[in-house]
Structure 1
Amino acid sequence: MTVEQNNDPLLPGYSFNAYLVAGLTPIDKGGIYDFYVDRPKGMEGFIINLTILGEGAIYCDDKSFISKPGDFLIFPPNTPHYYGRRANVEQWYHYWVYFKPRAIWTKWLLWPLQIGQIGYFRPEHQLSEDLKALFLKIVKTAQSSNTYSEMLAMNLLENFLIQRMQTISVENEKNYDYRVTLACNFISENLNTLAQDKSFIEQIAQHVHLSPSRISHLFKEYTGVSIISWREDQRINKAKFLLQTTPLSIYQIAQHVGYTDQFYFSRVFKSKTGLSPKKFRYVFYNN
Structure 2
Amino acid sequence: MQSSPAQQDNPLLPGYNFNAYLVAGMTPIVAGEALDFTINRPNGMKGYIINLTTDGIGTIFQGDDQFNCSAGDLLLFPPNATHYYHRAENSPLWHHQWIYFRPRALWKDWLNWSDTVNHVGRLTVTDCNEYQRILTLFKQIEQEYRHKGLFYEEMSMCLLEQLLLTCFKLDPSNKQRMLDPRVLSACHFITDNLGQNHKIADIANAIHISPSRLAHLFVQQTGSSMIKWREEQRMIKAQHLLHTSNAPIYHIARILGYDDQLYFCRLFKRHTGLNPSEYRNSR
Q: When the two structures are superposed, what TM-score results if normalisation uses the length of structure 2? A: 0.68
1:130 aligned residue: 133
2:69 aligned residue: 67
- Structure 1 residue 144: deviation in Å? 1.3
- How many equivalent residue pairs? 226
Q: CA, structure 1 residues 144+13, in 2 after alignment: closer, same or farther (shift >3 Å)?
A: same
The question of 1:141 aligning with 2:122 is answered no
Between the aligned partners of 1:108 and 1:258, the Cα distance in structure 2 is 35
Q: 2:223 aligns with which of 182, 186, 208?
A: 182
1:122-271 aligned within 5 A:
122-125=124-127, 126-169=129-172, 172-173=173-174, 181-183=222-224, 187-190=228-231, 232-236=235-239, 249-250=251-252, 252-253=254-255, 256=258, 260=262, 265=276, 268=279
Per-residue CA distance 1:129-175 (angstroms, 9 max, x = gap) = 11221222112211112032122111100011122233345xx1166
Q: When the two structures are superposed, what TM-score results if normalisation uses the length of structure 1? A: 0.67
- Structure 1 residue 46: deviation in Å? 0.4
Partner of 1:89: helix, strand, or coil? coil
Partner of 2:223: helix, strand, or coil? helix
Partner of 1:143: helix, strand, or coil? helix
Per-residue CA distance 1:103-152 (angstroms, 9 max, x = gap) = 10001111122421110112231322112212221122111120321221
Partner of 1:111: helix, strand, or coil? coil
Contact map agreement 1:60 1:80 (CA 8 A) in 2: no
Contact map agreement 2:26 2:95 (CA 8 A) in 1: yes
- Structure 1 residue 45: deviation in Å? 0.4
Q: CA, structure 1 residues 175+231, in 2 after alignment: closer, same or farther (shift >3 Å)?
A: same
Specify every segment of 5 or more residues in structure 2 that has no aligned partner in the other structure, as ranges: 178-218, 266-274
Between the aligned partners of 2:45 and 2:141, the Cα distance in structure 1 is 20
Partner of 1:105: helix, strand, or coil? helix
Contact map agreement 1:238 1:257 (CA 8 A) in 2: no
Identity of aligned residues (%): 34
Between the aligned partners of 2:70 and 2:176, the Cα distance in structure 1 is 28
1:51 aligned residue: 53
Structure number with greater CO (CA < 8 Å, separation at least 6) is 1
2:209 aligned residue: none
1:217 aligned residue: none
Contact map agreement 2:253 2:259 (CA 8 A) in 1: no
Of 125-134 and 27-36, more deviation after overlay is shown by 125-134
Per-residue CA distance 1:91-112 (angstroms, 9 max, x = gap) = 1111100000001000111112
Of 65-74 and 114-123, more deviation after overlay is shown by 114-123
Partner of 1:62: helix, strand, or coil? helix
Contact map agreement 2:253 2:264 (CA 8 A) in 1: yes
Partner of 2:262: helix, strand, or coil? coil
Of 69-78 and 2-11, more deviation after overlay is shown by 2-11
Q: CA, structure 1 residues 124+41, in 2 after alignment: closer, same or farther (shift >3 Å)?
A: same
1:9 aligned residue: 11
- Structure 1 residue 7: deviation in Å? 1.4
Specify every segment of 5 or more residues in structure 1 that has no aligned partner in the other structure, as ranges: 192-229, 273-287
Contact map agreement 1:254 1:260 (CA 8 A) in 2: no
Partner of 1:190: helix, strand, or coil? helix
Of 3-12 and 35-44, more deviation after overlay is shown by 3-12
Between the aligned partners of 1:150 and 1:256, the Cα distance in structure 2 is 23
Contact map agreement 1:235 1:258 (CA 8 A) in 2: no
Between the aligned partners of 2:280 and 2:154, the Cα distance in structure 1 is 17
